């Protein structure tokens, strides 16, 4: 077994959270992980450290204290303005070897995944990707990461007893975001580090930001599955009336009925809306992880034995292609009457 660059014997009892930023603004997923980190650190009596890299991001460091960090390690450099895995992995590795945290957490975003994979190799440690929950044993300092495996039928609990840091990535929306507390006190530590242009093998030519939709923020999520036969216009109309957004299971995405960014579930987006509708969806675990934390789940399925009904608060056994248009009409009539 190859030893990690530092081990259990010289680790610091601290949880580090990589604070991913875009254009100087820390991403929501990092704040979600910071909140979870705060809870775990409090339970174990450990410290919580945020690691922030960027160019003009110093104001964000103080904000991270308000969101729960005891300490923020800040690395400021023009070459860190935008993410490149070369520069970021180089600086984060230096920080890790100085701080030697027991636990390192990172958002499972495209950049976070890129960074975490590179770091795991450099530090000779393991990486638990796309975790759906985290626990920290205060007795032995072991992080247990929950991931779904083997087609979704199995929840695997992963531990890294010998290698440090214990590294996990967590997808957006898995943990709720905590409240900002401006009275919290913490320390911002400006790092010294080495970084030169010659270390970076990629060059940012142009950034193109797409319109995009953030399903993690919508209060109402109307999801359609194979059972709605590609009738997403119908769901769009319903979602619009409910001030919500449309999501989908994987089959309609694969069949090209709807954009991939709207896929909900294990390999899509994990959401926590107030209300989630599941229309013509069987209830495969891969999908359910994406909506199981909604306050209310309503399912419409023509099969009374569909597994989705095991996870729902309201079960409607009906043809979604008939039921949803009738519901739209009823809402429209109700609103028209209310406006008269």
Ligand X SMILES: Cc1cc2nc3c(=O)[nH]c(=O)nc-3n(C[C@H](O)[C@H](O)[C@H](O)COP(=O)(O)OP(=O)(O)OC[C@H]3O[C@@H](n4cnc5c(N)ncnc54)[C@H](O)[C@@H]3O)c2cc1C
Where does this chain bind ligand X (CB under 6 A)? 151-152, 225-227, 249-251, 263, 265-268, 280-282, 284, 286-287, 300-303, 306, 319-321
- Residue 293 tokens, joined: 């934390």
Q: How far is the CB of 150 from ligand X (least distance, A)?
A: 9
Read off the DSSP letter of residue 3: P
Pairing, β 220-224 against β 275-279: parallel
Name the DSSP letter for residue 323: H
Q: How near is the Cβ of 149 to ligand X at its closest, in Å?
A: 9
Which CB sits closer to ligand X, 126 or 265? 265
Name the residue nearer to ligand X (CB basis): 89 or 327.
327
Percent helix, strand and coil across the chain, each rounded to 5? Answer: 35, 25, 35
Residue number, 200 or 317, with CB nearest to ligand X: 317
Q: Which is nearer to ligand X, 47 or 267 (CB)?
A: 267
Q: How far is the CB of 274 from ligand X (least distance, A)?
A: 21
Q: How far is the CB of 100 from ligand X (least distance, A)?
A: 35
User: What is the C-alpha radius of gyration for the chain, rounded to an integer number of angstroms?
Assistant: 22
Question: Which C-beta is closer to ligand X: that of 63 or that of 231?
Answer: 231
Please identify, using beta-carbon distances, which residue of 25 and 303 lies nearer to ligand X: 303
266-283 core/surface letters (b: 16 or more CB in 10 A; e: else): bbbbbbbbebbbbbbbbb
- CA atoms of 217 and 54, how far apart (whole Å): 25
Q: Cβ of residue 163: shortest distance to ligand X, in angstroms?
A: 26
**Least distance CB 173 / ligand X (angstroms):** 12
For residue 226, the minimal CB distance to ligand X (Å) is 4
Go through the chain and tell me how many residues it has. Answer: 340
- Tokens 């531990």 correspond to 159
Closer Cβ to ligand X, 321 or 328, answer by number: 321
For residue 155 the two structure tokens come to 């929840």
Tokens of 279: 């229309």
Minimum separation from the CB atom of position 152 to ligand X (A): 6
Measured from the CB atom, the residue of 37 and 225 that comes closer to ligand X is 225
Nearest-10 crossing angle of helices 85-99, 110-123: 50
- Cβ atoms of residues 215 and 262 within 8 Å: yes
CA distance 334 to 331: 5
């Amino acid at each position: 077994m190859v030893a990690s660059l530092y081990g259990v014997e010289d680790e610091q009892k601290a949880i580090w959270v990589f604070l991913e930023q875009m254009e100087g603004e820390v991403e929501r997923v990092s704040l979600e992980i910071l909140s979870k980190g705060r809870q775990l650190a409090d339970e174990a009596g450990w410290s919580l450290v945020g690691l922030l890299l960027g160019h003009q991001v110093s104001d964000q460091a103080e904000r991270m204290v308000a969101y729960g960090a005891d300490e923020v390690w800040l690395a400021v450099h023009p070459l860190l303005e935008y993410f490149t895995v070369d520069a970021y992995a180089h600086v984060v590795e230096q920080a890790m070897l100085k701080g030697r945290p027991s636990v390192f957490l990172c958002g499972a975003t495209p950049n976070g995944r890129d960074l975490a994979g590179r770091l795991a190799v450099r530090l000779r440690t393991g990486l638990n990707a796309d975790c759906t929950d985290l626990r920290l044993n205060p007795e032995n300092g072991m992080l247990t990461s929950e991931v779904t495996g083997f087609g979704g039928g199995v929840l695997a609990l992963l531990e890294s007893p010998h290698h440090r840091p214990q590294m996990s990535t967590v997808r957006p929306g898995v943990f709720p975001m905590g409240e900002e507390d401006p009275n919290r006190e913490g320390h911002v530590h400006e790092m010294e580090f080495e970084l030169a242009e010659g270390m970076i093998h990629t060059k940012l030519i142009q950034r193109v930001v797409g319109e995009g939709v953030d399903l993690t923020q919508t209060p109402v999520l109307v999801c359609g599955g194979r059972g709605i036969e590609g009738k997403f216009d119908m769901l769009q109309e319903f979602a619009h009336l409910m001030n919500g957004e449309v999501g989908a299971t994987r089959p309609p995405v694969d069949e090209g009925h709807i954009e991939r960014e709207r896929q909900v579930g294990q390999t899509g987006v994990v959401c926590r809306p107030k209300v989630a509708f599941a229309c013509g969806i069987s209830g495969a675990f891969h999908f359910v992880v994406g909506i199981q934390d909604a306050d209310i789940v309503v399912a419409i399925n023509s099969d009374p034995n569909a597994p989705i009904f095991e996870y729902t608060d309201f079960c409607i056994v009906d043809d979604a292609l008939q039921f949803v248009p009738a519901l739209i009409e009823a809402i429209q009539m109700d609103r028209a009457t209310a406006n008269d």
